[in-house]
Amino acid sequence: MRQFPPYRILGTARREEAPTPIEGGVWYTALAIDDGIDYRFEPGALLPFAYLTTDILLDGEHMTCFMIQLQEGADGPEFRFSFGLLNQCVGRLRVPLAAVNQNRWRYEREGAVLKPLAQGARVDLAKVDRMRFTIHRKSERPVHWCMTDVVATAAEPPLLAKPLLPKGALLDEFGQSTLHLWPGKTAGEAELVRRLHAQADEAHTHRWPGGFSRWGGWMGRQFAATGFFRTHHDGARWHLVDPDGYPFWSIGMDCVAMNVTSAYAGLEDALTWTPDRADPLYAPVYDEPAGINYLKANFIRAFGGEWYAKWSEIALSLLRKWGFNTAANWSDWRAASAAGFPYTRPLTPHFPRSKCIYREMPDVFHPDFTADAADYAEQLRASLGDPAMIGYFLMNEPTWGFIQDQESPAGGMLFNTPYCATREALAGYLRAKYGSDAALAAAWGIDATLDAIAGGPWDTPLSPAARADLFDFSSVMVGRFFGALNDACRAVDPDHLNLGARYFTTPPAWAAKGMQGFDVFSINCYRRQAPGEDLARIHDLLGCPILIGEWHFGALDVGLPASGIGRVRDQEARGQAYRVYVEGAAALPWCVGAHYFTLYDQSALGRFDGENYNIGFLDVCHKPYDPLVEAAAYTHARVYPIVCGEAEPDARPPDYLPRTFL
């Protein structure tokens, strides 16, 4: 074990001499992003160790995201490990030093330590001589935290068995935050039950806006009907077309499901109330391995054994009332199907024979990869022939794309997977290009041989020429990957649309080259507005329409510690941000829909990975955020006039604020 005391304090950060609730801890206050603590040590000091660890307590009630950075000298490559913290709960950070190999993007949430992510560059621990602990995201308020010195250990540090909660439990009996007070907070069970019964009583009265078809399309125009959703270009713009032939702009809501789960592993004392697991009525509120769903519990309070049927009826009726026509990714698609409500389905990647060789990229040249793809496509059999299904997403945000310009899936494979069929194929690709070891070494400017490329450990730093070749081969890998999945899915289900892979941003050229063959390209786009120029570039490259699969805006004026990825001042501004985003997207001739993430706020305690955002149209007690709801309903009633060029999109943006979490 080795302890690393601070070398110097960065920026406005200040050490406070005050009693701390953590033994050996020190209080710090900082005002700005990148403030924090600097550590120095001799190169190679981290080599004998497997983990970095420290105990931390975040004061206040708003999310702060921190960053640990390891760097090779003042100007060398830098590895970054970011994480958030629950307020008012001690957490133990455990950073595995193997993370510097970049073979994994997200690590498991552990208690109060939320969404740990490996980012930045691959570094050589033999050359790392400095570390920084800094603020990465924050609200306008000062950050006040207590932490122990960072320690390097050879053995895995133990988890905290019973984290300190200075202000007691963090969730009340309804799943609301105990740290926050806000107008509209549900005051008791009677209020909750009245609201849910009123929503149930009104459910049968809600319809889509006038002029919508039975599927949510626009009855002002009609194309050929096929009985399924399809794509169509009318010479001026792209459309989805509903089963009856009407133009359909997909106004989607992600996560139309009872999935507001609080991950409480190691945080049992943070819960004010938990139902008896042995009670058959309340047993469904528990999710394994350690999650509790207060949304379900609240419906059980109101409706007893009819809770699920009532939820399905209420949720879909509210979507119609607000003008949504798609139950989008991660929704309860079976409930939507039973109601004849248009929906999309996510498929779950699983490649047991070919295995993964870099993050979630399988060994695409493995002789059994085709069989893995065929088994993967079998998921579609459950929805064959359903006209309410728009299409399927192949996956969500493949993390082999979450890399810097100097990294590629082929490069990641080279450093992390000593033997696989795709490495052998890479060697064959380079042999065809260069012909000999001497020519390869000369072109790359490093000591490289084709045999070393084909198999065995690799730790030689890459030259720009080597990285360029690896990006080119990564395009081959991506094309082989999606080509097999596309073919397998169409063999099982030729009727529904292949909606692509929900790429996390505008794909770089090396990735986009391998993404041919989708019916619709889907992009998750957390920008202030839909990026017209970028979407046009994707369209020109791939020749297909584009669907925005995720976006949102949140605020810090209600009972959640974090706003989400997009952030504005308050609920009124959330409504205006919604209008600007959707109406701007509808005006783009390549865009056929935008799906908002999500129907419900996340848990204030954090979901499985720690996200705890105010991003819902409804809170955990099923209370709508009226300014957002009203703005969305107004926009949805005018989407089709905007699509057809008969109305102009709203271009009055709210004030966009800095993010408070990843």
Query: How confident is the model at residue 191, as a pLDDT?
Result: 98
The full 3-state SS of 170-215, as one line of letters, equals CECCCCCECCCCCCCCCCCHHHHHHHHHHHHHHHHHCCCCCCECCC
Q: Does 428 have pLDDT greater than 90? A: yes
pLDDT digits (tens, 9 = 90+) for 13-45: 999 999 999 999 999 999 999 999 999 999 999
Distance CA 144, CA 21 (A): 13
CB 165 within 8 A of CB 89: yes
pLDDT digits (tens, 9 = 90+) for 70-83: 999 999 999 999 99
Do you find a cis peptide bond into 272, omega within 30 degrees of 0? no
Distance CA 116, CA 109 (A): 7
Query: How confident is the model at residue 404, as a pLDDT?
Result: 73
**Bridging pattern class, strands 51-58 and 143-147:** antiparallel
Query: How confident is the model at residue 661, as a pLDDT?
Result: 77
Distance CA 133, CA 150 (A): 9
pLDDT digits (tens, 9 = 90+) for 603-639: 999 999 999 999 999 999 999 999 999 999 999 999 9
Confidence of residue 484 (pLDDT cuts 50, 70, 90): very high
Angle CA(180)–CA(184)–CA(188) in degrees, nearest 5? 85
Query: How confident is the model at residue 289, as a pLDDT?
Result: 86
Query: How confident is the model at residue 288, as a pLDDT?
Result: 83
The arithmetic mean of pLDDT across residues 238-265, rounded, is 97
Q: Does 662 have pLDDT greater than 80? A: no
CB 112 within 8 A of CB 90: yes
Kindly list the structural domains of the chain, giving each domain's residue range(s) and its CATH number in brackets, ordered by start: 2-153 (2.60.120.430), 210-248 (no CATH)
pLDDT digits (tens, 9 = 90+) for 153-196: 999 999 998 999 999 999 999 999 999 999 999 999 999 999 99
pLDDT digits (tens, 9 = 90+) for 325-347: 999 999 999 999 999 999 999 99
CB 601 within 8 A of CB 177: no
pLDDT digits (tens, 9 = 90+) for 92-103: 999 999 999 999
Query: How confident is the model at residue 161, as a pLDDT?
Result: 87
End-to-end Cα, the chain, rounded Å:
31
Confidence of residue 477 (pLDDT cuts 50, 70, 90): very high
Q: Does 91 have pLDDT greater than 90? A: yes
The arithmetic mean of pLDDT across residues 113-128, rounded, is 96
CB 154 within 8 A of CB 48: yes
**Whole-number mean pLDDT of the chain?**
97
Distance CA 316, CA 257 (A): 10
Please count the CA atoms within 13 angstroms of the CA of 428 that sit on its side-chain side. 8
Q: Does 463 have pLDDT greater than 80? A: yes
Predicted TM-score of the model (pTM): 0.97
pLDDT digits (tens, 9 = 90+) for 334-381: 999 999 999 999 999 999 999 999 999 999 999 999 999 999 999 999
Closest CA to 243 of 266, 256, 224: 224
Query: How confident is the model at residue 543, as a pLDDT?
Result: 95
